[in-house]
């Protein structure tokens, strides 16, 4: 029954055909279970393991590599190769792909935990009326129409319409569902609000929320998936994980690279059609197969096999650095996503605030005889921890607050006129409440005031254990006074009173709404001397003024405290006793903003990141908080920047688009509204980070480009998020954004490094094929270079230091190519030199080396006809491993120098020297040692078809490799200086990567 909140109690009971005095019969229970289903959140159908594995291979570059591995294996078998060499290349490729697939499967498995943990918020048991008798049954057996009784501390087992109140008031903590910081008062009357949100449905008890005050009976109107909690689960199931900007760019680059590779492979094969019939191949078919192998080698050379592993490693290193900043990353790609975040949708309660109601201000009457009449005290401390200082109106600390009469009696009243509990949880390391948050705030105030008459106060309190300290002062007053009778809070009186006795003296303590308490007061307690004087019209007007200032301008939740001395013979209270009270003071409390939020917000704005505060609270409270944290000081008013969910939905489509671009505050929202906001912003090509801590935030956290949960939040929110803030500190987001930007910059550097290296390998093979000289590099040598000698320096580039102005730059655009046209030209030039230098090393050995045959160049070009004609040299010279060893070594060394070029995109090595990144220097040294290992250790040299080099060979290698630094320094000079602007603008006309929509509209 979806509109139970808008129906009267008889209508709801008639709909389900239930008698509220007897409940459902067994037969009706069976019938309703068949009609409406069970009260469980059904397990969603999981993606089969084999499908998750196959999904990891659904990538164009991966498919090309698999094809290359299979073709390599088939060609080896056709050529009659057996043993290790036939399987080496395809085995290495498949092992790399398997490792990448394993990482992907683990990530996806973790993401599904959010749906499982949602069930933890379902109640275990319920007190149900059936067949005229109450019994305790498993909550899973509830059906719509069941009559259920709930009381303080109960977890609501299903969505229920209240039909009877068994106490003066019923209050429910709905924070996990709506994000409201204070509990919600429930009532029986029908809701008439149009487009009612959860907060408006004051007659509905929602599944998973907790009763904090009162006792009531209700009829079940929704179970399992038809509850508010069930709708959150359905929203999460409908939400697909967003692909990160980096992943999109890498996918686009992979598609582009695949097309280029395919074109070059076909071109190489076509160029050499004339050589298919060369006698050395033994026939046209074998010639075609030979050049097909060259094309496959070209594909292996062009694909950066190590790129996925290096990206993963770099992101993993970033997660370690971010963990030190209290940002725990659950999804590796989200590290990079932070770097281009343009909008942060921040939940208010528990994120910008502590989600712990605390007393911020106290107002008392100082003296009726001399001015000032009224004094204000401010109270520090923003959590339930009994740690805080009370300051007077001039900002001076009160050393002994309990010596002031009004503050002392406030502490008494706060401790005694109270039904909540404050305790320390050693497992979580924090203080927790049981009961109404406003009452707990009063208990904390009593602890901050301390006790009177002890010389060691308040320092002695600090010597207690945290468990003892939690309610030490409250327990003191509860031992000093004996509670005799309690008048519970009622909606008409708007107050609560308790009769206490101490040493044959009876005292009535009252607390409640200021307008109710002050109207019943006839006298006041003076703070300067403890005297009691009459409450005059002037003092009443002054108190009313302070109350309206607290509640209006400062949007504090206000309570007034009062007392009355009663006859020592009185043992009970009536409503008539709540008159002629003595006013003690006024307290103003709020869910306070976190101290560090203001600076964090300003840092976000400096970095070009817009912050939208999203909350279920009412508009005025949220606007007041935003003013307190100083996040929106630049706004004169909130007129076009603050919207409720219903106001936003009523706007025409065009005005909604404009409103989204200006919005700073979004109030009275439900979970569906948060998800809608994220989607709307994403359609405007914004990169959205969503913060939250409640169950209600989970769908939006999952939908956002990066979901950020609070460490103290619900398990559902954490599981649906990409990142968890261990310290619940909004400021940690700023540090994480800076780290994300630095990681992206480093990621770009090593991607460019690997691209230029692979371009060099492609140029090498292509030029060799076009010139008609023997194969310069074997496929296994290319794999070694791509995975080991390229991979180590590329990973070390991830340790490049963060730029000093990283948080002063605007967020990069999501459609910004990883490699732009100008940069591609730069790395094409570098790659071309790498390839030509590699081929030059090969030719040098044949033509010029003293240890080589010193062949004329024409003989080298006609090597394939050697067996068919007479020569002055043996044809076996073309099988010598020296030339390919020189080529491979040139390729390795030139790429080591190229790694140094990537310490910075545009800064010279003279400005940023190699030792600025010692990890890179170490990786280059290690790479060269590994290369020496395969050159000079016999089994490895055979495996990689290489041979030891002489000092002369090494000298030539260095001569051929060093110029790559000079070339890149010239290109960097053009990038830095205006003289190169004309070139850069020309190349910027078109980016390397194809333009396409980032999201499906």
Nearest to 307 by CA among 961, 761, 752: 752
Question: Token pair for residue 360?
Answer: 């911020």
* Angle, helix 405-416 to helix 472-480, in steps of 10 degrees: 90
CA–CA dist 756, 89 (Å, integer)? 23
Q: Is 491 left (phi over 0), alpha (psi -120 to 50) or beta?
A: alpha
Cα–Cα distance for residue pair 461/456, rounded to 1 Å: 9
> What does the alpha-carbon distance between residue 91 and residue 658 come to, in Å, rounded to a whole number?
56
Is 347 a known active-site residue?
yes
**Cβ neighbours of residue 142 closer than 8 Å, sequence gap 6 or more:** 39, 126, 128, 148, 157, 158, 220, 223
With contact defined as beta carbons under 8 Å apart, do 955 and 961 qualify? no
Pick the closest to residue 760 from 311, 298, 305, 309 (CA basis): 298
Based on its alpha-carbon atoms, the radius of gyration of the chain, rounded to whole angstroms, reads 37
CB-based contact 664:612 (threshold 8 Å): yes
How far apart are the C-alpha atoms of 928 and 891, rounded to whole Å?
12
What is residue 155's DSSP assignment?
B
Q: At what angle do helices 882-901 and 963-976 cross, to 10 degrees?
A: 30
Could you give the CA distance from residue 715 to residue 330 in angstroms, rounded to a whole number? 13
Q: How far apart are CA 985 and CA 224, in angstroms?
A: 60
The catalytic residue among 59, 146, 347, 953 is 347
Alpha carbons 465 and 747: distance in angstroms, whole number: 49
Number of neighbours of residue 374 by Cβ within 10 angstroms: 19
Residues with Cβ within 8 Å of residue 415, at least 6 apart in sequence: 442, 443, 446, 473, 474, 477, 478
727 membership: H or E segment, kind and range: none
From residue 206, give the alpha-carbon distance in Å to each of 124, 128, 218. 15, 16, 11
Residue with tokens 């910075």: 904
Question: Closest Cα to residue 526, out of 515, 518, 535?
Answer: 535
**CB 596, CB 548: distance < 8 Å:** no
The reply to whether omega before 372 is within 30° of 0 (cis) is yes
Closest-CA residue to 705 (of 334, 960, 989, 403):
334
CA distances from 140 to 87, 119, 158, 215, 229 (A): 57, 11, 9, 22, 14
| Alpha helix (H) residue ranges in 704-730 | 715-720
Within 13 Å, how many C-alpha atoms sit on residue 738's CB side?
A: 19
DSSP assigned state of 37: -
Q: Residue for token digits 């080529």?
A: 887
SS3 53: helix
Residue 459 in contact with residue 469, Cβ under 8 Å? no
Q: Is 997 helix (H, G, I), strand (E, B) or coil?
A: coil
Q: Which of 998, 815, 814, 345 is nearest to 610 (CA)?
A: 345
Distance CA 929, CA 359 (A): 66
Alpha carbons 748 and 754: distance in angstroms, whole number: 10
Q: What is the 3-state secondary structure (H, E, C) of 291-345?
A: HHHHHHHHHHHHCCCCHHHHHHHHHHHHHHHHHCCCEEECCCHHHHHHHHCCEEE
Q: Which residues are catalytic?
A: 347
């Amino acid at each position: 029954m979806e509109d139970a909140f808008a129906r009267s109690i008889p209508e709801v009971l008639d709909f389900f055909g239930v008698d509220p005095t007897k409940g459902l019969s067994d037969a009706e229970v069976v019938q309703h279970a068949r009609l409406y289903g069970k009260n469980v959140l059904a397990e969603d159908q999981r993606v089969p393991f084999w499908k998750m594995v196959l999904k990891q291979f659904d990538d164009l570059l991966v498919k090309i590599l698999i094809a290359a591995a299979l073709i390599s294996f088939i060609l080896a078998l056709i050529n009659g190769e057996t043993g290790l060499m036939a399987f080496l290349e395809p085995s290495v490729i498949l092992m790399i792909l398997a490792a990448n697939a394993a990482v992907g499967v683990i990530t996806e498995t973790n993401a599904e935990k959010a749906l499982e943990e949602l069930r933890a918020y379902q109640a275990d048991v319920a007190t149900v009326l059936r067949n005229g008798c109450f019994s305790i049954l498993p909550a899973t057996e509830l059906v719509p129409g069941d009559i259920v009784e709930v009381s303080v501390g109960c977890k609501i087992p299903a969505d229920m319409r209240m039909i009877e109140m068994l106490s003066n008031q019923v209050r429910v903590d709905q924070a996990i569902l709506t994000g409201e910081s204070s509990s919600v008062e429930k009532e029986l009357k029908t809701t008439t609000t149009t487009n009612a949100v959860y907060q408006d449905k004051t007659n509905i008890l929602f599944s998973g929320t907790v009763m904090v005050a009162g006792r009531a009976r209700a009829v079940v109107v929704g179970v399992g998936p038809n509850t508010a909690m069930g709708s959150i689960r359905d929203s999460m199931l409908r939400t697909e994980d967003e692909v990160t900007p980096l992943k999109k760019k890498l996918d686009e680059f992979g598609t582009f690279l695949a097309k280029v590779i395919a074109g070059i492979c076909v071109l190489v094969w076509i160029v050499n059609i004339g050589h298919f019939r060369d006698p050395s191949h033994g026939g046209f078919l074998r010639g075609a197969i030979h050049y097909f192998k060259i094309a496959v080698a070209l594909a292996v050379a062009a694909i950066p096999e190590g790129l996925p592993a290096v990206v993963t490693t770099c992101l993993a290193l970033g997660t370690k650095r971010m963990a030190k900043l209290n940002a725990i990353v659950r999804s590796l790609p989200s590290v990079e996503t932070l770097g281009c975040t343009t909008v942060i949708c921040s939940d208010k309660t528990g994120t910008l605030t502590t989600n712990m109601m605390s007393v911020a201000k106290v107002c008392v009457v100082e003296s009726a005889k001399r001015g000032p009449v009224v004094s204000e005290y401010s109270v520090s401390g923003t959590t339930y921890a009994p740690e805080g200082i009370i300051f007077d109106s001039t900002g001076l600390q009160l050393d002994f607050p309990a010596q002031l009469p009004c503050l002392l009696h406030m502490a008494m009243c706060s401790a005694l006129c109270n039904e909540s509990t404050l305790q320390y949880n050693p497992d979580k390391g924090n203080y927790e409440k049981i009961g109404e948050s406003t009452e707990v705030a009063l208990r904390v105030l009593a602890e901050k005031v301390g006790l009177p008459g002890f010389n060691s106060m308040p320092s002695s309190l600090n010597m207690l254990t945290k468990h003892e300290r939690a309610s030490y002062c409250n327990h003191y007053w509860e031992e000093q006074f004996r509670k005799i009778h309690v008048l519970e809070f009622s909606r008409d009186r708007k107050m609560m009173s308790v009769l206490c006795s101490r040493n044959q003296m009876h005292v009535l303590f009252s607390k409640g709404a200021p307008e109710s308490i002050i109207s019943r007061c006839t006298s006041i307690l003076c703070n300067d001397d403890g005297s009691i004087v009459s409450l005059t019209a002037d003092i009443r007007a002054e108190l009313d003024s302070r109350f309206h200032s607290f509640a209006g301008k400062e949007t504090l939740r206000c309570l007034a405290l009062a007392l009355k001395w009663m006859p020592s013979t009185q043992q009970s209270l009536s409503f008539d006793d709540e008159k002629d009270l003595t006013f003690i003071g006024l307290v103003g409390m709020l869910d306070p903003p976190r101290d560090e939020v203001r600076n964090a917000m300003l840092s976000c704005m400096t970095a070009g990141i817009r912050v939208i505060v999203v909350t279920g609270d009412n508009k005025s409270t949220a606007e007041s908080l935003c003013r307190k944290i100083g996040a929106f000081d630049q706004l004169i008013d909130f007129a076009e920047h603050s919207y409720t969910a219903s106001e936003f939905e009523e706007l025409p489509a065009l005005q909604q688009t404009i409103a989204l671009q200006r919005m700073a505050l979004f109030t009275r929202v439900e979970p569906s509204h948060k998800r809608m906001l994220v989607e709307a912003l994403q359609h405007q090509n914004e990169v959205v980070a969503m913060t939250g801590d409640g169950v209600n935030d989970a769908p939006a956290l999952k939908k956002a480009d990066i979901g950020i949960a609070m460490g103290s939040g619900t398990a559902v929110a954490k599981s649906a998020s990409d990142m968890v803030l261990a310290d619940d500190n909004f400021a940690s987001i700023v540090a994480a954004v800076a780290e994300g930007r630095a990681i992206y910059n480093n990621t770009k550097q090593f991607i460019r490094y690997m691209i230029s290296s692979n371009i060099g390998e492609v140029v090498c093979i292509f030029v060799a094929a076009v010139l008609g000289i023997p194969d310069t590099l074997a496929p296994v040598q290319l794999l070694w270079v791509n995975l080991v000698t390229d991979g180590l320096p590329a990973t070390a580039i991830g340790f490049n230091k963060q730029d000093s102005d990283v948080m002063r730059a605007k967020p990069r655009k999501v459609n910004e190519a990883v490699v732009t046209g100008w940069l591609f030209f730069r790395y094409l030039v570098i790659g071309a030199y790498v390839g030509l230098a590699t081929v030059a090393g090969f030719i040098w050995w044949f033509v010029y080396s003293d240890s080589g045959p010193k062949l004329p160049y024409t003989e080298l070009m006609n090597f394939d006809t050697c067996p068919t004609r007479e020569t002055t040299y043996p044809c076996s010279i073309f099988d010598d491993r020296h030339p390919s060893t020189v080529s491979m070594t040139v390729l390795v060394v030139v790429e080591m120098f190229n790694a140094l070029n990537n310490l910075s995109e545009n800064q010279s090595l003279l400005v940023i020297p190699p030792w600025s990144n010692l990890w890179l220097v170490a990786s280059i040294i290690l790479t060269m040692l590994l290369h020496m290992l395969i050159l000079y250790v016999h089994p490895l040299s055979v495996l990689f078809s290489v041979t030891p080099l002489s000092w002369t060979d090494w000298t030539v290698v260095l001569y051929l490799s060093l110029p790559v630094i000079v070339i890149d320094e010239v290109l960097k000079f053009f990038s830095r200086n205006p003289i190169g602007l004309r070139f850069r603008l020309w190349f910027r006309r078109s980016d390397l990567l194809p333009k396409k929509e980032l999201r499906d509209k």
